[in-house]
Amino acid sequence: MPPHVTPHLQPLRQLGASLLRTFRERLRTLIAFHLLFTLLASTLVLPGIAWATRALFARLGSAVVTADELVALLFTPVGLVSVLAAQGLAFCILYWQQAGMLHVATSRHDQSHYRLTLWALWSSTRRLPALAGLVVLQVGSHLLLLAPFMAGIAWLYDLWLGGLDTYYLQKVRPPVLWYFIACALPLLLGWAWLAGRLYLRWLLALPLVALEHEAPHRALARSVALTRGWHRSIGAAVMLVLVGIIALPILATLAFDALFTPLLAWLPERYSVLLPAMLAYLTGYVLLTLALTFTGIALNALLSACLYMQLAHRQQRPTAPPGARAGRLGWAVELGVIALAALQAGWILNSFELEDDVAIIAHRGSSKRAPENTLSAFKRAIQDGADAIELDVRLSADSQVMIYHDRSLARLTGDPRDISDLTREELSHFDIGSWFGHAFRDERIPSLSQALETTRGKAGLMIELKPAPGNERALATSVIAELNAETDARYACWAEVSAPASAYPRCGYPDAWPEMRIASMSPSLVSTVEKLAPSLRTTLLAQLVLPGTIDRRGFDALGLRHNRITENEMRLAATYGYEVHAWTVNGRKRMATLLDMSVDAIITDYPDRLAALLAERSELSDGGLLLIKLHSWLRQ
């Protein structure tokens, strides 16, 4: 032993050396298996699971568009079974893949890489029933271990945060939020420690089931016996591999961006030069991404293989076969991967739009420059360049449409009463501006009619319906009546104007409806609005959407939390012909990313930031904008 290596580090050092040497010796066969399994999973297994998942969720009869609705669904028998089934299928696929790689790592067959790959795939497929049983026992035990901790966290949530608005918690971050986190964190750490210890004791169960045909329950018991006394070394090895799997893609992406992206900026902005260079750049990036994904999966499997050989068979590492031949098929498949990466790079490059056609929607007005949902915030939003203003409406006790987000007045005024329990006259006495700053003292709760008059000819409105239980239709009917009255007022205004050229800034477009949009988080309420006013545009707002739970033809736009917007969501929108609105986006970097994804509208507390970003990008040449979009895509 070298003098600088302490005794307790020697097993870890030997394990690392075995892992890297096995990875080098089995590299081509592991690549072949990974390609074949990925092809099989992407063309047959995953589409089948996706279809089954959509069909199952469609039978739930509930459209999940908010986090609260998701939690409620998860605690129903059908929802719980659905989640467990989805998790079980996901882990079965993972165990299946890992079992195949274990066969590759420990095989002594002297044959071509692709024959060995087919043998490993067949051998792991034959063990699928046992692997499924192992998933039930191993993953199920972790879920059962999690249950009491989750019950405790749910109790703490009800104790500290029950009834508080989610947006309020995110933006204001009141002291009770930190009390909840302080109380919940020990529970999470306790579960993580117990789950990690259980995971290490059962680490060898998968190779025992896959390679020695052990029954799942016997494999778990034998894994506990084999790993006894090795927990510290195994834990250190697992953590090092995990850190590597997480850190390597991040570091590689940053290095790729730092080394190669600046080279693109030096190229002349001529498409004859720029496009081939960007195509080569993207092809390299796609290949790097594929390589890193494969490396993480392979290292995880090889760690199990090396530990299995060392603890179960007293061998430092799997013995390599005498020799394996790549063959022409091997070269053809690997060249095919490069061609596929180039095709994907071309598809990415062609997906970039060179126009930023996006609407700026001010969230509750310019709600970081003035108190939310007030006339001051709406006026500031107009000054900040907003195309439309998002606001929230509720019915007062005398059926007047008032602009206010929360159900009660507690957050902004300290009064615990609900909006629906007070008349418009009573609501007019509340000051909802002083909390924001002295300059907005005596700001009052506005009505929808006041907002329509303030924004007339200057900005459109996205009117989010916030009904009290049981008055959904009444609120929708009242809002539609207000919009009809606004149209009448505009026509009357035009009739009084002697110079039509100057009428628009004062009167707005005569028909108010094209500038208005109704939004709601309730699919049934959106459907009600569609029936009451078919020509009025509607937006379904959603924190998340489970596959198969909503009719994507039942609205004109889908408003998604910005971190839920993916390329798949954009493809669905193009397929069904609706817009995608992102909320609530306040950072310039995220705004740029969403612009490059071609969303139709961005809802923000800072409309001036988005307006400035759009102005800057409009000054760029097509080549410069293409480089910006590429850089933004790389950072997604």
* Six token digits for residue 361: 């929607």
pLDDT score, position 81: 76
* Six token digits for residue 489: 């007022």
At residue 263, what are phi and psi to the nearest 5 degrees? -65, -35
pLDDT score, position 92: 92
DSSP 214-283: --HHHHHHHHHHHTTT-HHHHHHHHHHHHHHHHHHHHHHHHHHHHHHHHHHHTS-S-HHHHHHHHHHHHH
pLDDT score, position 1: 42
Between CA 339 and CA 279 the distance in angstroms is 12
pLDDT beneath 50: ranges in the chain: 1-8
Give whole-number Cα distances, 24 to 21, 250, 308, 320, in Å: 5, 23, 18, 10
Between CA 29 and CA 585 the distance in angstroms is 46
Alpha helices in 75-174 (DSSP H): 77-106, 113-126, 128-161, 166-172
- Asked if 541 contacts 54 with a C-beta cutoff of 8 angstroms, the reply is no
Query: Of the candidates 400, 426, 401, which has an alpha carbon nearest to the alpha carbon of residue 413?
Result: 426
pLDDT score, position 330: 60
Residue pLDDT, tens place only, 397-454: 999 999 999 999 988 898 989 999 999 999 999 999 999 999 999 999 999 999 999 9
pLDDT score, position 4: 43
> Could you tell me which residues are beta bridge partners of residue 418?
408
Domains in the chain, CATH or no CATH each? 7-127+189-350 (no CATH), 359-634 (3.20.20.190)
pLDDT score, position 343: 81
pLDDT score, position 57: 65
Between CA 549 and CA 456 the distance in angstroms is 37
pLDDT score, position 62: 60
pLDDT score, position 3: 44
Q: Which helix (H) or strand (E) holds 537?
A: strand 537-542
At residue 582, what are phi and psi to the nearest 5 degrees? -100, 130
pLDDT score, position 5: 41
pLDDT score, position 635: 63
Residue pLDDT, tens place only, 348-373: 777 777 778 899 999 999 999 999 99
Query: Of the candidates 317, 318, 290, which has an alpha carbon nearest to the alpha carbon of residue 103?
Result: 318
Query: Of the candidates 354, 371, 244, 440, which has an alpha carbon nearest to the alpha carbon of residue 618?
Result: 354
